[in-house]
Structure 1
Amino acid sequence: MKKGLGKKTDEKKPESFFTASGKEIRSLKELKDYLKKIDETEFSHHITEEKNDFENWIRHSLKNHKLADFLRKKKTKEDTIQIIDYFLIKKELENPESELRKEKKEEIPSIETIKVGVPGFDELITNGIPKGSSILLSGGPGTGKTTFCLQVVKQAAENKEKCLYLTFEEGVVELKQHMKNYGWDPVKVEKEGNLLIKKMKPFELSRSVEALLAKASGELTIELNEVEGIIPKGFKPDRIILDSLSAVAAAFTDKEEGYRIYIEQLFSLFKRIGATSFLITEIEQEARKYSRSGVEEFLADAVFVFYNIRRKNVRQNALEILKIRGTKHQKKIVPFKIISNQGIIVYPQEEVFT
C-alpha cells in the first residue's frame, strides 16, 4: 500500500459556470464582472420566471446558500450585480487576511463584547454581542422595538456609556416622555453627558453620510470631528440608535437603488465610528423578509425580530434572535412583557402561549 503524499485528493474545486455565450466563470468576482458587460438579452437567457442559473450555480457549486437565497428574489441585472457586490464587500471586510486589515492584523485584540441590558434578553446569548456590531431590530408596528431601544440606551447611559438616539419620526420630547412613563430619568443621564436624543430629517443624514464616506475613501476609521452634522463635537457615542430605517426609506420613493446604496453607506459609517448600532425597521406581521429591501438584514451583524402573536382572541409579545455574527445564541421565539415602571422583561426559559 502506497503512503499518501500529504495532499488531500478528495477535495473538489467548485464547478465552473458556463454562460450562454460560452464564457467560463470560476468565481463571484468573475460573475460580477461578466454581468456588468452583458446586455439584457444575454442576461435573460439565465434568469426567467421559471429559473435562475446564477442562483443554482452559487447554491450547488459554490455552496453559498445565503447568497443564493437573496438572489432567488432578484430578477433584474442591476439587483443581481448589487447583491453580489454587497457580498464581496462584506467578505473582504470580514476576512482577516484581506488588504483592508493586513496593516491592523497584529493589533487586533480578543473580541470585546457588550450586554444589551434588557432583563432576560442577555441570557439568550452565550458571550454577549461583539462590540461595534450593527443590529437590525425588525417587527410590525407596536411590537416593542422603540421601547426596547430606549431601554438599551437607558441601561447603557446609567453605566456611563455615551448613547446617541437619532429619531426621524417621534419628537425628542415624546421619546423622553416615553422613558419617564417607564420610570426612567432621561434628564439625569442627559445632564451627565451620556445621552443625546436628536431629531433629524432623512435627507440630512443621507447627505452627511455620503459626504463623509467620500472624504474618508480608503480609510478604516472616520475622525469624530468630521461627523459634526450627525454627532456633536466632543460626543463619542458607544451606542447609536436609528429610529427608523422605514422613515428613511420613505424619502427614497421610486429610488430603490439609491436607498440600497444609502443603507450600505450608513452601515459602513457606524462601523467606522466604532459604535454598536441598533437600527429599527418596520415590517408586516407575516412578512417573509425582515427588512424593506433584504439588503439590511444581509449587511447587519445581528437581527432581532419582534412579534405580536395572536391565538384566538389573545395576543402575546415575543421576540427571537435570528442571527448574531461572532457568538452563539438560542434559536427560539420567547415571550416578553412590557411592564409599567419597568419596561421590557424577556422570559428566556418560557415558550409562547404556555
Structure 2
Amino acid sequence: MGEDAKDKEENVFITKDENKISNLWELRDFLSKTSDEIFTRYVNEEKNDFESWIRHSLKNQELADLVRKKKTREETVQIIDYFLTKQELENPESELREEEIPEVERIRIGVPGFDQLITEGIPKGSSVLISGGPGTGKTTFCLQIIKEATEKGEKCLYLTFEEAPLKLKQHMKSYGWDPIQLEKEGSLIIKKMRPFDLSRSVEALLAKASGELTIELDEIEGVIPKDFKPDRIVLDSLSSVAAAFIGREEGYRIYIEQLFTLFKSIGATSFLITEIEQETSRYSRSGIEEFLADAVFVFYNIRKKNVRLNALEILKIRGTLHQKKIVPFKIISNQGIVVYPQEEVFT
C-alpha cells in the first residue's frame, strides 16, 4: 500500500458495523439515517467518538469543539449541517460530487404578496436582517411572520430588547391576532432581554477568556428558553444591543458573530431587526450584521408629494433568485402588511 493510500485509510472512521466514513458529508448522511440508540454507542457521558475523529483525523478543531458540546444525534446533525453550509459559502469553488449535495429546504415568509418576490422561498435556517428607519413596519412584519408560522405548526421565539412583551401582544391584538392563545398552545414565547446586562455579561466572559477574543457557544445559549426549540426567531433589535456596547465595539462584534452561529446551530430561521437612517448606503449599524446575514430586507417610508408611502425591497438572499426592485406595501387593520409586488413606487 502506498503512503497516500495508507494516510487516507488512517483518516477513515470505521463504524461498529464496519461501514467506512471518510468525510463530513458521509458522517452527516450516516447520522441522519442511524437511530438514537446506535448514536449512543459513539456518544455518551464518557466519550464522543465523532469529536475525536473530527479533531484528530480531519484536523478540524473548530467543528470538533462544537460537536463536543452536542449530546444528541439531532443536535450533532444540525451543527455539521451548519458547518458544511458555512464552509461552502467561504469556499464557493470547492468541488462536490452531485450525489453529495443535499437538497436545500426552503420556507415561505407568509406575508401576503411578499413571497411572490422570491422564486422558491428562503433557505430554512437563514439569518435575515430586517433593516429600515423608524416607523417603516419592521416590527409589524416580524410579528406577522411569527403569526403565520405558528398557524403552520411552527414554534417561534421573539426576543425583545426594546418593547415590553405586553406592548407587543397589544400590537398583535390590534391586527386580530391572539398571542395569548399562541402562548397557551406552546407555539410562541416573547422574552424580554436587557441589553446592558447582556453587554456586562459579555465583557465578563471576554475578561475570563484571558484576552482571547472569543466566547464559547454554550455561554450564550441562555437566550433560548430551556426545552424550547424554535423554528423561527425574531430579535428586536440589534440597534439596542449595539447601543449597550458603545465604546466596546469588539465585544459587540464577537457577540453578534456567536449569536448568528447559535441560531444556525439549532436550525432556526432568524429575523434580526436593525434601525438605520433612511438616507444611507449602510443597512446596519456596524456593517458586520449585513455581512453575516444570509438575506437583507430593507423597509422604507418614502415621501411622494404630500403623502408618505410604505415600501420594501429584498437587497439579497444567498443562493436564491428574487426580484430586485422597491415595491409598495400597506398596513391594513385586522390583517397586517400586504405587499403589492406588481405595483410601482416611483410613478
**Contact kept? 1:316, 1:353, Cα under 8 Å:** no
Q: How does 1:63-82 map to 2 (within 5 A)?
A: none
Report the alpha carbon displacement of residue 192 of structure 1 after superposing the two structures with TM. 0.8
**Contact kept? 1:139, 1:283, Cα under 8 Å:** yes
Report the alpha carbon displacement of residue 109 of structure 1 after superposing the two structures with TM. 2.7
- Of 258-267 and 161-170, deviating more is 258-267
Change (3 A) 1:110 1:168: same
- Of 120-129 and 200-209, deviating more is 200-209
**Contact kept? 2:202, 2:255, Cα under 8 Å:** no
Task: String of CA shifts for 1:131-162, please: whole Å, max 9, x gaps.
Answer: 00000000000000000000000110111100
- The equivalent position to 1:148 in structure 2, one of 103, 118, 141, is 141
2: CA distance, partners of 1:136 / 1:315? 23
Q: Does 1:290 align with 2:280?
A: no
Q: Which residue of 2 aligns with 1:94?
A: 89
Q: Does 1:231 align with 2:224?
A: yes
**Contact kept? 2:215, 2:254, Cα under 8 Å:** no
Report the alpha carbon displacement of residue 263 of structure 1 after superposing the two structures with TM. 1.7
2: CA distance, partners of 1:171 / 1:251? 17
Q: Does 1:316 align with 2:309?
A: yes
Q: What is the root-mean-square deviation of aligned Cα atoms in Å?
A: 2.8
- TM-score, normalized by length of structure 1? 0.66
1: CA distance, partners of 2:249 / 2:198? 17
Q: Which residue of 1 aligns with 2:8?
A: none
1: CA distance, partners of 2:343 / 2:173? 29
SS at match of 2:139: helix
Report the alpha carbon displacement of residue 203 of structure 1 after superposing the two structures with TM. 4.4
2: CA distance, partners of 1:157 / 1:141? 27
* Partner AA of 1:292 in structure 2: R
Q: Which residue of 2 aligns with 1:131?
A: 124
SS at match of 2:103: coil
1: CA distance, partners of 2:196 / 2:89? 29
**Contact kept? 2:129, 2:297, Cα under 8 Å:** yes
**Contact kept? 1:208, 1:230, Cα under 8 Å:** no
* Partner AA of 1:94 in structure 2: L
Q: Which residue of 2 aligns with 1:327?
A: 320
Q: Which residue of 1 aligns with 2:267?
A: 274
Report the alpha carbon displacement of residue 253 of structure 1 after superposing the two structures with TM. 1.2
- The equivalent position to 1:301 in structure 2, one of 294, 301, 308, is 294
2: CA distance, partners of 1:228 / 1:263? 13
1: CA distance, partners of 2:275 / 2:104? 31
Report the alpha carbon displacement of residue 264 of structure 1 after superposing the two structures with TM. 1.4
Task: String of CA shifts for 1:81-118, please: whole Å, max 9, x gaps.
Answer: xxxxxxxxx9746257999xx9xx98763000000010
* Partner AA of 2:259 in structure 1: L
2: CA distance, partners of 1:228 / 1:255? 22
Q: Does 1:255 align with 2:253?
A: no
Question: How many residue pairs were aligned?
Answer: 253
Q: Which residue of 2 aligns with 1:195?
A: 188
Report the alpha carbon displacement of residue 228 of structure 1 after superposing the two structures with TM. 6.0
SS at match of 1:232: coil
2: CA distance, partners of 1:292 / 1:228? 24
- TM-score, normalized by length of structure 2? 0.67
* Partner AA of 1:307 in structure 2: Y
Task: String of CA shifts for 1:63-86, please: whole Å, max 9, x gaps.
Answer: xxxxxxxxxxxxxxxxxxxxxxxx
1: CA distance, partners of 2:100 / 2:235? 30
* Partner AA of 1:344 in structure 2: I
Q: Which residue of 2 aligns with 1:43?
A: none
**Contact kept? 1:92, 1:98, Cα under 8 Å:** no
Change (3 A) 1:107 1:193: farther
Report the alpha carbon displacement of residue 229 of structure 1 after superposing the two structures with TM. 2.1
Change (3 A) 1:126 1:168: same
Change (3 A) 1:353 1:168: same
Identity %: 74
Change (3 A) 1:96 1:108: farther
1: CA distance, partners of 2:125 / 2:86? 17
Q: Any unmatched runs of 5+ in structure 2?
A: 1-84, 207-213
